[in-house]
Amino acid sequence: MLSDIPLSGLLLYPPGLCLILLTAAVVCALFSLKRLAVFLTFFAITWVGVWSLPITSIHFGKILEEKYPYQGPRELPKADVIIVLGGNTQANRANWFEPYNRATAVDRIDRAEALYLAGRASRILLSGGAREGKVSEAQGMARLLKQRGIPDSALILENESRNTYENLRYSEILLRSHKLNSALLVTSALHMPRAQAAAEKRGIKATPASSAPQIVLPEDEPPVLWWPHIRSLEASRTIIKEYLGLLGYKLRGWI
């Protein structure tokens, strides 16, 4: 969710940081700080260059995505409820190294629907407040699930949360009020390490049920690992955000 992204995360996004550092380098050069200007220029080009390489995104993305390996719906244990965390964005693309295609994008509610139809749980808790306006993410996800035939009686909505920490905090309250003891936690594979850690910190008995990994080389025309690729830069923002999120949550005592 947007409020999960620290300001440092936006600044460290390679193209953005590169522009900031190059601007600073020009200012330093104008004030005869040539060594500092050279250093800033070198760091800016190196930072954006490293993250433009597919090998970088593959390596650091894999560390996050493989912490909780993907399992098919019937491979997962049964639970009382499926918790779906808000945050549906273009990050739902099937693969970061392929063009975004809405037809192949996999939303978190797709995963929840598959788990529900596989009989893994009889209730679905949808968590996410309103980004703008009055309609919350939870309400939006509920509408789509009901259109797919999921009964309204199976849905529990949490409409207040603005980030992952609040997703789990408010979900915990609803779990207690509905006497639900075990859960399948649904979010993206990149986000799962932080989400699962936050759930455990809240004392929620949750089993990770993430979507399939997104930072993988496509079988058709895979990019050259050591050659710059624009989609590696696009993926880097989400990857960097998650590492900073883990650090920030750790420092705040949220995980």
Q: What is the 3-state secondary structure (H, E, C) of the chain?
A: CHHHCCHHHHHHCHHHHHHHHHHHHHHHHHCCCHHHHHHHHHHHHHHHHHHCCHHHHHHHHHHHHCCCCCCCHHHCCCCCEEEEECCCCHHHCCCCCCCCCCCCCCCHHHHHHHHHHCCCCCCEEEECCCCCCCCCHHHHHHHHHHHCCCCHHHEEEECCCCCHHHHHHHHHHHHHHCCCCEEEEECCCCCHHHHHHHHHHCCCEEEECCCCCCCCCCCCCCCCCCCCCHHHHHHHHHHHHHHHHHHHHHHHCCC
Asked if 106 contacts 92 with a C-beta cutoff of 8 angstroms, the reply is: yes
**Nearest alpha-carbon partner for 52 in 243, 186, 240, 233:** 233
Cα 205 from chain centroid (whole Å):
21
- pLDDT tens, 105-134? 567 889 999 999 999 999 999 999 887 778
- pLDDT tens, 136-180? 899 999 999 999 999 999 999 999 998 999 999 999 999 999 999
Q: What does the pLDDT read at residue 221?
A: 79
Comparison of pLDDT for 94 and 195, the residue scoring more:
195
Task: Give me the amino acid identity at 249.
Answer: Y
Q: What does the pLDDT read at residue 124?
A: 97
Banded pLDDT at 2 (limits 50, 70, 90):
very low
Q: What are phi and psi of 136, to 5 degrees?
A: -80, 165
Q: What is the reported pTM?
A: 0.87
Averaged over 182-201, what is the pLDDT?
Answer: 96
Asked if 61 contacts 239 with a C-beta cutoff of 8 angstroms, the reply is: yes
The number of C-alpha atoms within 13 Å of 112 and in the hemisphere containing its C-beta is 33
Banded pLDDT at 9 (limits 50, 70, 90):
low
Averaged over 10-18, what is the pLDDT?
Answer: 79
Q: What does the pLDDT read at residue 15?
A: 87
Banded pLDDT at 91 (limits 50, 70, 90):
low
Q: Residue 192 above 90 pLDDT? A: yes
55 to each of 58, 62, 222, 245, 250, how far by Cα in Å? 5, 10, 12, 22, 27
Task: Give me the amino acid identity at 3.
Answer: S
Q: Residue 31 above 80 pLDDT? A: yes
* Residue ranges of domains in the chain, CATH in brackets: 2-63+226-252 (no CATH), 70-208 (3.40.50.620)
Residue 167: both structure tokens together: 């997703």
Mean pLDDT rounded to a whole number for the chain? 88
Q: Residue 5 above 70 pLDDT? A: no
Q: What are phi and psi of 85, to 5 degrees?
A: -85, 140
- pLDDT tens, 214-237? 888 887 778 888 999 988 988 898
Banded pLDDT at 90 (limits 50, 70, 90):
very low
Q: What does the pLDDT read at residue 199?
A: 97
Asked if 156 contacts 81 with a C-beta cutoff of 8 angstroms, the reply is: yes
Comparison of pLDDT for 80 and 93, the residue scoring more:
80
Q: What does the pLDDT read at residue 85?
A: 93
